[in-house]
Amino acid sequence: MRANYRLVLAFVLFVVFVSGVGVGFDRLLLREGVPRLGVLFLSNLLTGLVAGILFLQNKIRAHEKHKLLEDRLKKVADMNHHVRNALQVVAFYRSQISDPEAGRLLQDSIKRIEWTLEEVLPRGWNLEGKPPEANGAAGSKQGAPRA
């Protein structure tokens, strides 16, 4: 709810700022002796230029945030891949252990790590924003495995 108030406040401030710039240009141009039709065109042109610069700045920031998020998601996906590969080796050697208690503890640890990976970045989740079900992968488990 607070985000909505911030959005409305930003909108109102933007409108007030651009309107103020337009009125300021009008007064400046009239004071300089520019004819009224010229004031109309020049003031609108300059006000549009200011609004366009603000819009462009906002779009650039949004693109930078999107790119940063995409880079972070790629790092998490790489980490997920490498950890899962390492877990395969651990799981293989778990079957080589003769002590059943040690094997059980190791298997429980493997399950906890796999559960964590599925909660952070489910298998099949892509960076285009499609949910895992769209890729045919199973969704993440609801509960944590018991230790």
pLDDT in tens, 107-125: 888 888 888 887 766 555 5
Q: Give a yes or no: residue 32 inside a domain.
A: yes
Q: 22-30 contacts: CB < 8 A, separation 24 or more?
A: 22/46, 22/47
* Distance between CA atoms of residues 86 and 92, nearest Å: 10
Q: Give a yes or no: residue 114 inside a domain.
A: no
Range(s) of the domain holding residue 46? 2-96
Tokens linked to 40: 């109309």
* Distance between CA atoms of residues 75 and 77, nearest Å: 5
Q: Give a yes or no: residue 41 inside a domain.
A: yes
3-state secondary structure 65-103: HHHHHHHHHHHHHHHHHHHHHHHHHHHHHHCCCCCHHHH
Q: Give the model confidence (pLDDT) of 7-25 as tens digits.
A: 889 889 988 988 898 888 8
Q: Give a yes or no: residue 102 inside a domain.
A: no
Q: Give a yes or no: residue 117 inside a domain.
A: no
Q: Give the model confidence (pLDDT) of 22-60 as tens digits.
A: 888 888 888 888 888 888 888 888 888 998 998 999 999
Q: Give a yes or no: residue 60 inside a domain.
A: yes
* Count of structural domains, the chain: 1
Q: Give a yes or no: residue 30 inside a domain.
A: yes
Tokens linked to 91: 């799981």
Q: Give a yes or no: residue 113 inside a domain.
A: no
Alpha carbon 8 to chain centroid distance? 21
Whether residue 133 has pLDDT greater than 70: no
Count other C-beta atoms under 10 Å from residue 117's C-beta: 19
The whole-chain average pLDDT of the chain stands at 80
**Are residues 95 and 129 in contact, defined by beta-carbon separation less than 8 angstroms?**
no
* Distance between CA atoms of residues 93 and 116, nearest Å: 21
Range 71-90 average pLDDT: 86
Whether residue 126 has pLDDT greater than 80: no
